[in-house]
């Protein structure tokens, strides 16, 4: 028995020494940091679901007035870049030092996620980015306009037939259905029938849901890489991936057999066969389709639902926006692509909602070679992850006075030159920025326009005075995944 006790104590001591061996990393560099504890580092609140990843990184941001703040991912030092000049260096000026994201590599167990643009590293990412960026060019997005209009019309029809009779509408789930309806036509060439709760809707909805296991896997992919391969973790829900894969392959086969004039992702992916080395449509092509669906429909839905909430509780802005929409449509003789792009106040409202509730509350980069922070003697070693807290920047009163206030005027043309460019980053910046920003904006704006032309969005009996976020996961999720409003038919 005593041998077992001695062995256990020895293991604990060795574990303690190993887990604390780097705990003086930020102290040596005079970087403000949270005090780590053995085995956990400083991320205990994230592991215990007391704070989401985004909320925690915002806590690090707010910890200090210094240009950066340190913390520990278990035994690994990590940094939050706070000063916009440092953020600019990380994302753009010194990209050669920070070209990769700090996500786990798991090609053995999760190949489709591993070859996505989000996960790829180094030269593989460079090649894939140049290959797939064209699939979301301005011209291809413009060609999508009629399909998005069609999806938005079905959105309005559903609200008219189902939601008008309800005292409370949960508009986050409603936004998810519309977003997937609009995006699926492009990404997999089908009508998702989301408003009828189709099998495709259910599968896509569950690709990256907020269940306990998905949250754990997400945390590990971002924060605890050492667990990903041993436990064969998947970034996306396996059964949902299987279902979407079958739909993708079926529609690729159909496109090959039947000539289409439609301009969509499948056509572009088929065309790439034979044009690029190391390209397989059933791997790289499928991976990009999954990525566009997963990143696209949930981020669009999140943006749309928060925008609808902001307009609901700020009726004067809703009235002004509706007036602009009607005026611009009348000027163009209808709701055209050009008309949508001309709606300036709509753009201002959308930007302000994205400031208040960014889709993903942080950006992450990995230091790939030793880096000295400009104008300091602070050295960041190779392998140290660097994070940028969007919640911290977007709600910093230095850059956005009265940040808790909904004020689209911050983004008026006459004020834009006064904004700190690298303090507002809803779609990232630099070479790893979001490739789908144009399509995302079109889908979200179209949803807002169509709804405001037909309905007034008013508070329901359960509309909160302000949104509280779930303390878990890595994307922005409202408490109980609810954003409750009420739709009222506009007077003729």
Query: How remote is the C-alpha of 370 from its chain's centroid?
Result: 29
Beta bridge partners of 100: 366
70 Ramachandran zone, left/alpha/beta (phi>0; psi -120 to 50) = beta
User: In 3D, which of 228, 257, 205, 173 has the Cα closest to residue 481?
Assistant: 173
Q: How far is CA 322 from CA 271, 354, 448, in A?
A: 42, 19, 10
**What kind and span of H or E run contains 445?**
helix 437-454
Assess contact for 53 and 362: CB atoms under 8 A. yes
Query: How remote is the C-alpha of 329 from its chain's centroid?
Result: 31
d(CA 18, CA 27): 18
User: In 3D, which of 387, 431, 452 has the Cα closest to residue 61?
Assistant: 387
User: What one-character DSSP code corresponds to residue 134?
Assistant: G
- Within 10 angstroms of residue 232's Cβ, the number of other Cβ atoms is 10
**Tokens representing residue 130 in the block:** 């140049």
User: In 3D, which of 147, 163, 68 has the Cα closest to residue 488?
Assistant: 163
Assess contact for 454 and 489: CB atoms under 8 A. yes
Question: Using N-to-C axis directions, what is the helix angle for 344-356 and 437-454, rounded to 10°?
Answer: 110
**Phi, psi (deg, nearest 5) at residue 69:** -140, 145
Annotated binding residue 434? yes
Rg (CA), the chain: 23
Which residues does the annotation place in the binding site? 434
Which residues does the annotation place in the binding site for heme? 434
């Amino acid at each position: 028995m005593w041998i077992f006790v001695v062995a256990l104590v020895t293991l604990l001591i060795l574990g303690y020494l190993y887990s604390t061996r780097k705990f003086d990393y930020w102290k040596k560099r005079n970087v403000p940091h949270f005090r780590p504890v053995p085995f956990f580092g400083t991320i205990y609140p994230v592991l215990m679901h007391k704070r989401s990843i985004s909320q925690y990184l915002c806590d690090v941001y707010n910890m200090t007035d210094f240009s950066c703040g340190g913390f520990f991912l278990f035994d690994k030092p990590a940094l939050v870049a706070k000063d916009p000049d440092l953020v600019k260096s990380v994302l753009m000026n010194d990209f050669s030092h920070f070209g990769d994201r700090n996500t786990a590599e798991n090609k053995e167990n999760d190949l489709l996620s591993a070859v996505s643009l989000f996960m790829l590293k180094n030269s593989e990412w460079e090649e894939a980015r140049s290959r797939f960026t064209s699939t979301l060019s301005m011209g291809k997005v413009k060609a999508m306009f009629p399909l998005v209009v069609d999806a938005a019309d079905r959105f309005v029809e559903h609200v008219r037939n189902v939601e008008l009779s309800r005292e409370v509408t949960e508009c986050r789930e409603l936004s998810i259905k519309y977003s997937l309806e609009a995006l699926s036509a492009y990404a997999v060439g089908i009508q998702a029938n989301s408003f009828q709760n189709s099998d495709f809707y259910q599968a896509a909805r569950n690709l990256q849901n907020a269940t306990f296991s998905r949250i754990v896997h997400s945390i590990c992919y971002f924060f605890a890489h050492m667990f990903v391969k041993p436990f064969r973790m998947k970034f996306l829900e396996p059964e949902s991936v299987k279902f979407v894969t079958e739909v993708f392959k079926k529609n690729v086969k159909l496109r090959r057999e039947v000539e289409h004039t439609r301009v969509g992702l499948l056509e572009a992916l088929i065309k790439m066969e034979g044009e690029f080395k190391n390209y397989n449509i059933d791997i790289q092509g499928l991976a990009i389709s999954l990525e566009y669906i997963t990143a696209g429909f949930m981020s669009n839905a999140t943006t749309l639902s928060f925008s609808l909430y902001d307009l609901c509780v700020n009726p004067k802005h809703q009235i002004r926006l509706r007036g602009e929409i009607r005026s611009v449509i009348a000027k163009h003789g209808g709701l055209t692509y050009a008309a949508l792009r001309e709606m300036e106040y709509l753009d201002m409202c959308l930007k302000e909602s994205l400031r208040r509730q960014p889709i993903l509350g942080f950006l992450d980069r990995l230091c790939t070679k030793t880096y000295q922070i400009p104008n300091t003697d602070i050295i960041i070693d190779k392998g140290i992850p660097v994070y940028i807290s969007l919640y911290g920047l977007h709600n910093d009163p230095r850059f956005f006075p009265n940040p808790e206030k909904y004020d689209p005027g911050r983004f008026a043309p006459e004020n834009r030159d006064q904004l700190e460019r690298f303090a507002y980053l809803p779609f990232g910046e630099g070479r790893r920025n979001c490739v789908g920003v144009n399509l995302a904006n079109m889908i979200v704006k179209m949803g807002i326009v169509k709804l405001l032309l037909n309905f007034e969005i008013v508070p329901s009996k359960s509309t909160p005075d302000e949104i509280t976020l779930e303390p878990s996961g890595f994307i922005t999720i409202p408490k109980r995944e609810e954003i409750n409003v009420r739709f009222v038919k506009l007077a003729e």
